[in-house]
Chain A
Amino acid sequence: KMTFFPQLLTGKYRDTQTSITDSSAVYRVSTDKSANVTLIDLPGHESLRLQFLEKFKAAARAIVFVVDSVAFQREVKDVAEFLYQVLVDSTVLKNAPPLLIACNKQDVTMAKSAKLIQQQLEKELNTLRVTRSAAPTSLDSSATGGPAQLGKKGKDFDFSQLPMKVEFVECSARGSKGEEGDADFEGLEKWLAKIA
């Protein structure tokens, strides 16, 4: 995420560190000069990601969910869990911002394709909604009203069942020519232009 951020804004590549706070800046859409979007990059560390999601979810006009295509196989459960939490959040469901799932690190040979990632996520989310709804109710369940149901009951989970538009895109923040090469994220830019 942090690699995309400066590249979208300035076109330069920067070394990154694990962040503990959010960063935000205004991004000028390349195709339409008058449109401006503010990009906010949230830290991904497991102890922080929920906290920052809480802070910014209400203001989000669209969400880009970046997935590591190489480590996906190993981390599918964590990825699906976080995505599940993003999707069932009541604020997100209410606003239904368009969601882009960016499958990053496509320049590495072992990267999974977007289609494969989509299938895996759907399967995993399917299982998750069963287990999550079966979990013991929260202490203060009267207030929250129980976890929201994701997608349609009875049918296997599909991203098309969601109230928001979901798209999958392949991209690479580093580019196949190595560190200093041009990053390949035209798909990302096009999508940003669309929603701006």
Chain B
Amino acid sequence: ERGGNNSFTHEALTLKYKLDNQFELVFVVGFQKILTLTYVDKLIDDVHKEFRDKYRNEFQQKGTLGLLNGTFDFKDDFMRLLRDAEESSKVRAPTVMKTFEQSLKSQKTVKCMIETRGEKPKEKVKTKKNKGSKKEGTEAVAAPGKAPAGDKQPSAAGDREELTKDEILQKNREEFFKRHMKAGEKSSKSPKPEAQKEKGKKPRVWDLGNSNAKVLDYSNSATNGSTEACPVEEFDPDTALGDRNREPGRLYDLEYESDDEAEEEKVIQNPSKPSAKKGGLGGMFGMLKGLVGSKSLTKEDMEPVLEKMKDHLIAKNVAAEIAVQLCESVAKKLEGKVMGTFTTVTSTVKQALQEALVQILQPQRRVDVLRDVMDAQRHRRPYVVTFCGVNGVGKSTNLAKISFWLIENGFSVLIAACDTFRAGAVEQLRTHTRRLNALHPPESHGGRTMVQLYEKGYGKDAAGIAMEAISYARNQGFDVVLVDTAGRMQDNAPLMTALAKLIAVNAPDLVLFVGEALVGNEAVDQLVKFNKALADHSMAQTPRLIDGIVLTKFDTIDDKVGAAISMTYITSKPIVFVGTGQTYCDLRSLNAKAVVAALMKA
């Protein structure tokens, strides 16, 4: 589920990998971290292609037995590809910086100084524009006042001179016009496209990015009624203009086409139409093709579905960055995969996303607190659990619930009141202790008090109290010590240091982060900063980080259960308990499938 980024660092090595989803292969390249090899990506792509082509038959026909029996003698091919990649990276040597003499600027300024004042600003701006243009052979253009050569370029430069004082936007527009005019000189051009180009131009002025253009672009939509495929155009690729200018041009293309079915040849000739790179499949046939037959998934197919899924997840209170990363990893996992018949892109993507979510929520290591407590019992030492979190998430309440659960299972609990800051914190715990003892009187447990509170009042050092509490528990034979700490914001550096010190010094068996289910994007920040603080202030080689999560106030959210995903994704630690209310019995464990079902429900 973390397949979004494709590199992994371990000690001195960096590994980059590529997935082939069609044949279920993984290609891994390992190299030393300190070397920055630019050809790695290209190499892995080349290896992937060659290997797949060479052994395609074996994969398809023989299946697993083919894999087992076949010999994959790829070494020679690999060495060859490696050599090619290394060569290509060397060839592209860093461009030598032009010396001052060679640069245009020196030539320009000297000449500028010679010219009269009036023309000076114009020349300067013109040089700026000239350098900005990607056309080669600017030497000819550089010389001002020289009679422009017969080719188009100086004429364009000459035209541009008049535009120096306009906005850059309008300048570009003019350039676009002029380029098309020049191109139009080659073949006859009807005035209609030009007029429509004006119309198509206007939306571009408000465009801020490609995404808007995509929305306006009707060519990909499967609901488009026309059945012709867009012709692939030859457009002059040397234009300095980006994609933005091409989209509006393409808009009018379709309308123009739908009028004139028979005139496809004319359409092809007119070079003002940009190449339809995305080549939307004509509506009807495209849709049918999507349903039947084996189609391999491309990124473009999955884009719209993934966008929708991402928005859906965010609406369900999953942190935005997590949703993005999840969708990316699903895309990576499905790219190139061959879909079965009668499965739509939407269903495949949904299925993959569901699996990824279940995978995230399912605890990877065991989440059995009772088992660990039994172990600690056998070694005659108390099992120490520390609760940490920001203000007001429900640490003390859930601590009481957990101690109730432990007592029900026959373990004696010592509560350490290490919240020495908040008014009433110690009293709160004292009340809970009293209540729990009333529920489980010592008589019914062989004469020993099941719950006891260890407190030293307010204003003292929390780490010290915790240490004393643990040794007291060891002497008195308590099974579990629950340490309650003060709530603190993750940005509060001194408090985070104090918490880290408490955990580092006392080495608890379980560090639980208490987070409320209502939290949204904040969850990411909280967990990252808490973990960072714990890691930074620990002296040990392997610092104690958060071991588990307690998700509280779960009853306040209906099905916006995204916080669970955010938290487990960030820490990769399991959700140990879920708090669903304010009485002692409102303690649950997580059911991954139910949560994912609630998440995916529309």
Report A's interface with B, CB cutoff 8 A.
5-6, 9-10, 12, 14, 20-21, 23-25, 46-47, 50-51, 77-78, 81, 127-128, 130-132, 134-141, 143-144
A127: shortest Cβ distance to chain B, in Å?
A: 7
Apart from the given pairs A6-B68, A134-B370, A139-B590, 6 other A-B contacts in the complex at a CB distance below 8 Å: A10-B69, A12-B68, A25-B63, A25-B65, A136-B587, A140-B591
The verdict on B601 contacting chain A, using a C-beta distance below 8 Å, is no
Q: Mark B576-591, 1 if CB is under 8 A from A, else 0.
A: 0110100000011111
Assess the B371–A128 pair: CB atoms within 8 A. Answer: yes
What CA separation (Å) do A6 and B69 show in the bound complex? Answer: 9
B121: shortest Cβ distance to chain A, in Å?
A: 65
The verdict on B405 contacting chain A, using a C-beta distance below 8 Å, is yes
Assess the A81–B366 pair: CB atoms within 8 A. Answer: yes
Chain B residues whose CB sits within 8 angstroms of the CB of A47 once the complex forms:
359, 364
Chain B residues whose CB sits within 8 angstroms of the CB of A50 once the complex forms:
362
Q: A51-B359, A143-B594 are in contact. Are A77 and B371 (CB under 8 A)?
A: yes
Assess the A138–B590 pair: CB atoms within 8 A. Answer: yes
Assess the A139–B595 pair: CB atoms within 8 A. Answer: yes
The one of A25, A51, A130, A139 in contact with B591, judged by C-beta atoms closer than 8 angstroms, is A139
The 4 closest A-B pairs by CB, nearest first: A140-B594, A131-B370, A138-B591, A25-B64
What CA separation (Å) do A134 and B589 show in the bound complex? Answer: 11
User: What are 25 A-B pairs with beta-carbon distances under 8 A?
Assistant: A5-B68, A6-B68, A10-B68, A12-B68, A14-B68, A20-B26, A25-B64, A47-B359, A51-B358, A77-B371, A78-B366, A81-B368, A127-B371, A128-B368, A134-B409, A135-B589, A136-B587, A136-B588, A136-B589, A138-B590, A139-B578, A139-B591, A140-B591, A140-B594, A141-B588
Chain A residues whose CB sits within 8 angstroms of the CB of B591 once the complex forms:
138-141, 144
Q: Mark B398-419, 1 if CB is under 8 A from A, else 0.
A: 0000000100110000000000
The verdict on B374 contacting chain A, using a C-beta distance below 8 Å, is yes
The one of B355, B368, B593, B594 in contact with A135, judged by C-beta atoms closer than 8 angstroms, is B368
A150: shortest Cβ distance to chain B, in Å?
A: 15
A191: shortest Cβ distance to chain B, in Å?
A: 22
Assess the A51–B355 pair: CB atoms within 8 A. Answer: yes
A195: shortest Cβ distance to chain B, in Å?
A: 21
Assess the B594–A138 pair: CB atoms within 8 A. Answer: yes
Chain A residues whose CB sits within 8 angstroms of the CB of B26 once the complex forms:
20
The verdict on B24 contacting chain A, using a C-beta distance below 8 Å, is yes
Q: A23-B64, A51-B355 are in contact. Are A132 and B368 (CB under 8 A)?
A: yes
The verdict on B365 contacting chain A, using a C-beta distance below 8 Å, is yes
Chain A residues whose CB sits within 8 angstroms of the CB of B374 once the complex forms:
127, 131
Assess the A131–B371 pair: CB atoms within 8 A. Answer: yes
Q: A46-B364, A131-B370, A139-B578 are in contact. Are A9 and B68 (CB under 8 A)?
A: yes
What CA separation (Å) do A6 and B26 show in the bound complex? Answer: 20
What CA separation (Å) do A23 and B25 show in the bound complex? Answer: 13
What CA separation (Å) do A45 and B205 show in the bound complex? Answer: 54
What CA separation (Å) do A195 and B578 show in the bound complex? Answer: 44
For residues 505 through 564 of chain B, which have their beta carbon under 8 Å from a beta carbon of chain A? 554
Chain A residues whose CB sits within 8 angstroms of the CB of B24 once the complex forms:
21
Chain B residues whose CB sits within 8 angstroms of the CB of A136 once the complex forms:
405, 577, 587-589
What CA separation (Å) do A12 and B71 show in the bound complex? Answer: 13
Assess the B594–A139 pair: CB atoms within 8 A. Answer: yes
Chain B residues whose CB sits within 8 angstroms of the CB of A5 once the complex forms:
68
B28: shortest Cβ distance to chain A, in Å?
A: 10
What CA separation (Å) do A50 and B67 show in the bound complex? Answer: 25
Question: Residue of A at shortest CB range from B576?
Answer: A136
Question: Residue of B at shortest CB range from A85?
Answer: B366
What CA separation (Å) do A138 and B580 show in the bound complex? Answer: 11
Q: A24-B64, A47-B359 are in contact. Are A138 and B588 (CB under 8 A)?
A: yes
Chain B residues whose CB sits within 8 angstroms of the CB of A10 once the complex forms:
65, 68-69
Question: Residue of A at shortest CB range from B405?
Answer: A136
For residues 357 through 411 of chain B, which have their beta carbon under 8 Å from a beta carbon of chain A? 358-359, 362, 364-366, 368, 370-371, 374, 405, 408-409
For residues 11 through 26 of chain B, which have their beta carbon under 8 Å from a beta carbon of chain A? 24, 26
Chain A residues whose CB sits within 8 angstroms of the CB of B68 once the complex forms:
5-6, 9-10, 12, 14, 25
What CA separation (Å) do A161 and B219 show in the bound complex? Answer: 66
A87: shortest Cβ distance to chain B, in Å?
A: 15
Chain B residues whose CB sits within 8 angstroms of the CB of A24 once the complex forms:
64
What CA separation (Å) do A144 and B574 show in the bound complex? Answer: 20
Assess the A137–B371 pair: CB atoms within 8 A. Answer: no
A140: shortest Cβ distance to chain B, in Å?
A: 4
Question: Residue of B at shortest CB range from A50?
Answer: B362
A19: shortest Cβ distance to chain B, in Å?
A: 10
Chain B residues whose CB sits within 8 angstroms of the CB of A14 once the complex forms:
68
What CA separation (Å) do A14 and B374 show in the bound complex? Answer: 42
Chain B residues whose CB sits within 8 angstroms of the CB of A21 once the complex forms:
24
Chain B residues whose CB sits within 8 angstroms of the CB of A138 once the complex forms:
588-591, 594
Chain A residues whose CB sits within 8 angstroms of the CB of B405 once the complex forms:
136
Chain A residues whose CB sits within 8 angstroms of the CB of B580 once the complex forms:
139
A25: shortest Cβ distance to chain B, in Å?
A: 4
Chain B residues whose CB sits within 8 angstroms of the CB of A140 once the complex forms:
591, 593-594
Assess the A46–B365 pair: CB atoms within 8 A. Answer: yes
Chain A residues whose CB sits within 8 angstroms of the CB of B588 once the complex forms:
136-139, 141
Q: Mark B2-17, 1 if CB is under 8 A from A, else 0.
A: 0000000000000000
Assess the A9–B65 pair: CB atoms within 8 A. Answer: yes
Question: Residue of A at shortest CB range from B577?
Answer: A136
Question: Residue of A at shortest CB range from B368?
Answer: A131
